[in-house]
């Protein structure tokens, strides 16, 4: 069965979008981005935005993030995958970035959460966006400490 991703989190005034590859099993089950309790996404954004995101309910997190003109989405709309690892993704269908361009006219920068999502960076840079590939917030990416990841994530709003 092909899995369907989550809808984009955006507003018309969104300027930066953080793009993951595809939601993990915990995120799909909860219908929430980065729902796995060990994923560092919300802690990283909390530091970058200076907002207490991790302790907030999901909808409040989204409102705070959107208030900073930051959106959240994935590069893939659908795929087949056993488990949650990016390496297991098969038959991937990319999201429609032309749709995002039409609906978020102030969008200027796309930040990729990890190398798998980052494979889309050259194509989207060619479309005129500034791009940044950041270390994955996934608990599976343990090669870097939280502090090392944060150094790269600090460039999200630059």
Cα separation, 81 vs 61, whole angstroms: 28
For the chain, what's the residue count?
A: 158
Give the closest residue to 79 by CA, choosing from 22, 7, 28: 22
SS3 28: helix
Task: Identify the active-site residue in 27, 39, 40, 95.
Answer: 39
CA distances from 99 to 12, 71, 78, 91, 104 (A): 12, 14, 16, 21, 9
**Is 113 tagged catalytic?**
no
DSSP assignment of 45-113: HHHHHT---TTS-HHHHHHHHHHTTEEEEESEEEEE-SSS-GGG-EEEEE--HHHHHHH-TT--EEEEE
The catalytic residue positions are: 39
């Amino acid at each position: 069965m092909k899995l369907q991703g989550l809808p984009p989190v955006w507003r018309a005034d969104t300027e930066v979008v953080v793009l993951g590859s595809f939601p993990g099993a915990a995120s799909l089950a909860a219908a929430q981005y980065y729902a796995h309790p060990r994923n560092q996404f919300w802690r990283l954004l909390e530091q970058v935005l200076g907002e207490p995101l991790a302790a907030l309910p999901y909808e409040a997190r989204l409102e705070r993030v959107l208030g900073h003109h930051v959106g959240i989405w994935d590069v893939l709309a659908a795929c087949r995958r056993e488990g949650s690892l990016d390496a297991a993704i098969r038959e991937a269908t990319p999201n429609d970035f032309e749709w995002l361009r039409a609906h978020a006219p102030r969008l200027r920068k796309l930040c990729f959460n990890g190398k798998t999502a980052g494979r889309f960076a050259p194509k989207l840079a060619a479309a005129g966006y500034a791009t940044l590939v950041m270390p994955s917030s996934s608990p599976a990416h343990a090669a870097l400490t939280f502090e090392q990841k944060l150094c790269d994530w600090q460039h999200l709003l630059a």
